[in-house]
Amino acid sequence: MKKNELQNTEFNHIIHLITAAQNKVFKVINKELVLLYWDIGCYVSEKVKSGSWGDNVVINLANYIKQHYPNLKGFTKRGLYRMKQFYETYNNIKKMSTLLTQLNWSNHLIILSKCKSIEEKQFYIIISVKEKLSFRELQRQIETSVFERTLLTNTKVSTPLTQLHKNINHVFKDTYIFEFLDLPINYNERDLQNQLLINLKKFLLELGSGFTFIGQEYRVQVGLHDYYIDLLFFHRDLQCLVAFELKTTEFKPEYLGKLNFYLEALDTEVKMSNENPSIGVLLCKGKDTEVVEFAMRRNISPTLIADYETKLIDKKLLQQKLHDLYLIFDKNHNKK
């Protein structure tokens, strides 16, 4: 190793130490800040609940802080009531206490303001912590209705795939939202592929945690011929390769044959001995449920079929579908 390269390696080690220390400090500060807002929210809540404080007292407190401690930011009437709401929302949910301090206040605020049910709030807190979502990433997850889509998911998967991975529906979605794509009106598969790669960070966020990108037009050789898989990923939790085939039309049964061929090539030529069999995902612009079910009945490869939208789905429509699903569940549960 050359002297400059060795020196750069040593310098990078120092940078790593600095960054690690900064992250630790940030986590401590964030934890203490969230606990402070919790304690303030608790105090204000108890005062209001007991009748000791009304709106005027909270306004007076906000004005007092502004007048005497102008450097303290965020303690407006709105901010104080957000702290009160924060405490009252999670006070009786003990299992959430550890997670709450792992999330920054900005993310807490958007969850409190944008999510209605406690189940939805808990969902976004958990994935925010698990996937280390930034404010903008979390905002997109909420705007694209990941909570509703996760509960409503009915991804069409082959029997071999469910046998390999029991909780597969928690990894893949029934419908993916690619509202971030800048596609021409009459786009083709190459346009779709290129735009997904240009927006790879957003694409990975929509796919969910665990995916690592390997390549575009990934070449596999069978006999004397070369074949190219649209997009290839590796999933850390499933410990397998995941091949995505992109279609700009509705699902057709013949698409499965080509995908099965690719999976066989991957398992024979690319998959390592310690890895699980490769999974194939057909991403189509729509699908007929009955046609998909017929096509998947005798499919022997670990595959699934999903569709995608290039515009946001109406959140109210998804919420209504979710409400209808709850009603059906309650009705069936009461019959038992």
Q: Which residues contact 147 (CB under 8 A, 6 or more apart)?
A: 115, 119, 120, 123, 124
Q: For residue 226, give the CATH number of its domain.
A: 3.40.1350.10
Q: What is the three-class DSSP state of 15?
A: helix
Contact at 8 Å (CB) between 207 and 227? no
| Residue pLDDT, tens place only, 172-202 | 988 999 999 999 989 999 999 999 999 999 9
Mean pLDDT for the chain overall: 88
What is the rounded distance in angstroms from the CA atom of residue 253 to the CA atom of residue 279?
Answer: 17
pLDDT for position 122: 93
Residues 169 and 127 in one domain: no
Residue pointed to by tokens 């690619």 = 178
> Both 155 and 104 in a single domain?
no
Which range of 14-23, 26-35, 157-166, 249-258 scores highest in mean pLDDT? It is: 249-258
Q: Could you tell me which residues are beta bridge partners of residue 305?
A: 156, 282
pLDDT in tens, 280-291: 999 999 999 899
Same domain, 170 and 310: yes
Element (H, E) at 7: helix 3-50
Q: Is residue 332 part of a domain?
A: no
Q: Residue 131: inside a domain, yes or no?
A: yes
Of 49-53, 81-85, 139-143, 251-255, the least confident: 49-53
Say yes or no to pLDDT of 261 above 90.
Answer: yes
Task: State the Cα–Cα distance between residues 324 and 333, nearest whole angstrom.
Answer: 14
Q: Is the confidence at residue 335, as pLDDT, over 60?
A: no
- Per-residue model confidence (pLDDT) at position 22: 82
Q: Is the pLDDT of residue 157 over 80?
A: no
Residue 226 lies in a domain: yes
Residue bearing the bigger pLDDT, 325 or 195: 195
pTM of the model: 0.77
* Cα 225 from Cα 207, distance rounded (Å): 31
Same domain for 131 and 202? no
Whether 57 and 92 share a structural domain: yes
Q: How far is CA 303 from CA 38, 79, 159, 165, 279, in A?
A: 46, 49, 9, 12, 6
- Range from 89-103, 129-143, 222-236, 311-325 carrying the lowest mean pLDDT: 311-325
* pLDDT the model gives residue 5: 66
pLDDT tier at 317, thresholds 50, 70, 90: confident
pLDDT for the residue numbered 11: 75
Torsions phi, psi for 180 (to 5 deg): -85, -5
**The total number of structural domains that make up the chain:** 2
Question: Where is pLDDT greater, at 299 or 81?
Answer: 81
* Residue 107 shares a structural domain with residue 187: no
The amino acid at residue 320 is: Q
Instruction: List, in order, residues 6 or more apart from 108 with CB less than 8 Å away.
Output: 34, 86, 100
Residue 322 has pLDDT above 80, yes or no: no
DSSP 84: H
Q: Clarify whether residues 12 and 131 are in a common domain.
A: yes
What does the buried/exposed string (b/e) look like for 118-151 if buried means 16 or more CB atoms within 10 Å of the residue's CB? eebbbbbbebbbeeebeeebbebbbebbbbbbeb
Where is average pLDDT lowest: 136-140, 283-287, 317-321? 317-321
Q: Same structural domain for residues 133 and 198?
A: no
330 in a domain, yes or no? no
Side-chain-side CA neighbours of residue 181 (13 Å): 24
Let me know if residue 328 belongs to a domain: no
- Per-residue confidence band for 6, with pLDDT thresholds at 50, 70 and 90: low
Structure tokens at 241: 């390769």
Q: Per mean pLDDT, which range of 53-57, 219-223, 253-257, 271-275 is the poorest?
A: 53-57
Could you tell me if residue 75 is inside a domain? Answer: yes
Q: Which pLDDT value is given to residue 329?
A: 47
The DSSP element (H or E) to which 217 belongs, if any, is strand 211-222
Residues 222 and 253 in one domain: yes
Residue 333 lies in a domain: no
Say if residue 327's pLDDT is above 70: no
Asked if residue 26 belongs to a domain, the reply is yes
Of 23-27, 58-62, 210-214, 224-228, the one with minimum mean pLDDT is: 23-27
Token pair belonging to 237: 């939790």
- Do 133 and 216 share a structural domain? no
107 and 37 within one domain: yes
Domain that holds residue 24: 3-141
298-323 mean pLDDT: 83
pLDDT for residue 305 is more than 90: yes
For residue 149, give Cα distances in angstroms to 72, 141, 303, 318: 40, 10, 20, 7
